Amino acid sequence: MILANGTVFSGTSIGACEDRICELVFNTSMTGYQEILTDPSYAGQGVVMSYPLIGNYGVNHEDNESGQPWAEAFVVRHLSPRGSNFRCEDTLDQYLKNYGISGIQGVDTRALTKILRSEGSMNAMLTCAEYFSVEESLEAIRAYRVKGTVERVSRKEPEIFPAYETQRHRVALMDYGVKQSMIECLRRRGCQVTVFPASTPAAQVLAGNFDGVMLSNGPGDPADNGTIIQEVRALYESQLSLFAVCLGHQLLALATGAKTGRLPYGHRGGNHPVRDLAEGRVFITSQNHGYMVLADTVDPKVAEISHTNVNDQTVEGLRYKRPNCFTVQFHPEASPGPQDTEYLFDRFVSMLKTRNGGNQ
């Protein structure tokens, strides 16, 4: 594995033995590698798992967050040769091979994580070539850029998911790279969820007479999505109840005049402390993002900061001044990670009840 700074790590190939260039990021979760691999927010990226033993409980179809894994590459210290779990359907190595994901084990992931923390997320190349030139590889590695990922991971056609029990609400969910757990959180709360492709015009969504709209997570630089941002602005101006997560949170901030910036090495893992300023409490959250909303660009007439990251004080949530609209940077649906902040889905559903006259 060749890093953009010229550092070379040697190890043993896992998964597909194919040359792969990607943006390399690290995740501090101890479990949940299958959910991480299938999170569309990792499109274009290679994931370094900082926990040393990965794959010990295998993989299964039930825990997937989307129809396929989206990570470009997978880097671990030690890959368990077998999965020990009553739900195990395959080994992680075979799963990586099935989907053409290149990987490497035997790497000092602690040293690698320290490089990414000190120098920031950087591009890298995985190769199984017996002979290669670091100097010649670096030009292609440094030229790589994650782009066009939202269009790649989003659904191509709308899809409807019924509520699990009594249907009380109809919610439109914009798929910028949505995780299945987000859909499930709404279905369990009596919502029929219609998932729309990222490119769907706001007018088409508004014509559906939904009770509320949710903007999903997703990959890449939020500022690259100019057309989507214009449609998000139209959804914001509709006055429908609106809840946005991760990339959706950033897109709505951009649509209302704020700016976003790149974090040095991102927030990725299941142990990130976030302070809810209104409740005066700290929650442990699941996160996966490399960009943030810049606090000093948020217009106080438009929104106020509702959540902050305890570690670096970055913006983790916004409460908008217009009725029934709020956003968060972290993942309240978790998977993997703690479910401490699922209460935010209850808050969103209560807004739908208000719109329906409070009698649901």
Residue 360: pLDDT over 70: no
The answer to whether residue 279 is domain-embedded is yes
Could you tell me the pLDDT band of residue 353, with boundaries at 50, 70 and 90? confident
CB-based contact 187:162 (threshold 8 Å): yes
> 240 and 327 share a domain?
yes
User: Looking at residue 114, which CATH number applies to its domain?
Assistant: 3.50.30.20
Can you tell me the distance from the alpha carbon of 214 to that of 216, in angstroms, rounded to the nearest whole number?
6
DSSP line for 173-216 = EEESS--HHHHHHHHTTTEEEEEEETT--HHHHHTT--SEEEE-
pLDDT at 16 over 60: yes
The answer to whether position 28 is within a domain reads yes
pLDDT score of 4 more than 70:
yes
Do 160 and 196 sit in the same domain of this protein? yes
* Close Cβ partners of 130 (under 8 Å, ≥ 6 residues apart): none
Residue 360 is assigned to a structural domain of this protein:
no
- Each residue of 47-57: pLDDT tens digit? 999 999 999 99
Query: Does residue 210 share a domain with residue 108?
Result: no
Residues 257 and 114 occupy one common structural domain: no
Mean pLDDT of the chain: 95
- So what's the pLDDT on residue 354? 67
Say if residue 359's pLDDT is above 50: no
Q: Say if residue 297 is in the same domain as residue 332.
A: yes
- How far is the C-alpha of 258 from the C-alpha of 61, rounded, in Å? 39
Domain stops at, among 129, 146, 163: 146
The pLDDT assigned to 337 comes to: 85
Task: Please check whether residues 9 and 122 belong to one and the same domain.
Answer: yes
CA distance 269 to 338: 10
Residue 130 pLDDT: 86
Q: Is the pLDDT of residue 77 over 90?
A: yes
Which active-site residues does the annotation give?
246, 331, 333
Contacts of 166 (CB under 8 A, 6+ apart): 190
For residue 357, pLDDT beyond 70: no
Tell me what the mean pLDDT of segment 316-338 comes to: 95
pLDDT digits (tens, 9 = 90+) for 304-324: 999 999 999 999 999 999 999
What are the tens digits of pLDDT across the range 141-190?
A: 999 999 999 999 999 999 999 999 899 999 999 999 999 999 999 999 99
- Residue 317 and residue 184 share a domain: yes
Please check whether residues 235 and 271 belong to one and the same domain.
yes
Report helix, strand and coil shares of the chain as percent, to nearest 5: 25, 30, 40
List pLDDT tens digits, range 129-142.
988 889 999 999 99
90 by DSSP, 3-state: which?
strand
Domain boundary among 146, 172, 187: 146
The CATH number linked to 224 is: 3.40.50.880
Residues 238 and 172 grouped into a single domain: yes
235 φψ region: left (φ > 0), alpha (ψ -120 to 50), beta (else):
alpha
Alpha-carbon separation of residue 110 from 115, 149, 165, 284 (angstroms): 9, 29, 46, 23
- Residue 336's pLDDT is 87
Domain closes at, from 146, 173, 199:
146
Amino acid (1-letter code) at residue 73: A
Distance, in Å, from the CA atom of 222 to the CA atom of 252, rounded to the nearest integer, reads: 10
Q: What residues contact 12, with CB distance under 8 A and at least 6 apart?
A: 104, 105, 106
Name the residue range of residue 182's domain.
Answer: 150-355
Q: Which pLDDT score is estimated for 212?
A: 97
Same-domain status, 139 and 176: no
Residue 35, Cβ density class (10 Å: 0-12 exposed, 13-18 middle, ≥19 buried): buried
Per-residue pLDDT at 274 exceeds 90: yes
Domain count within the chain: 2
Geometric angle at alpha carbon 310, from 305 and 316, rounded to 5°? 35
pLDDT digits (tens, 9 = 90+) for 61-74: 999 999 999 999 99
pLDDT value at 33 more than 50: yes
Backbone angles phi, psi at 275, to 5 degrees: -95, 125
Rama region for 107: left / alpha / beta (φ>0; ψ in -120 to 50; rest): beta
Whether 310 and 332 share a structural domain: yes
> Would you say 30 and 57 are in contact if contact means Cβ atoms under 8 Å apart?
no
What one-character-per-residue DSSP string does 271-334 give? EEEEEETTTTEEEEEEEEEEEEE-GGGS-TTTEEEEEEETTT--EEEEEESSSSEEEESSBTT-
Indicate if the pLDDT at residue 40 is higher than 90.
yes
Residues 199 and 248 reside in one and the same domain: yes
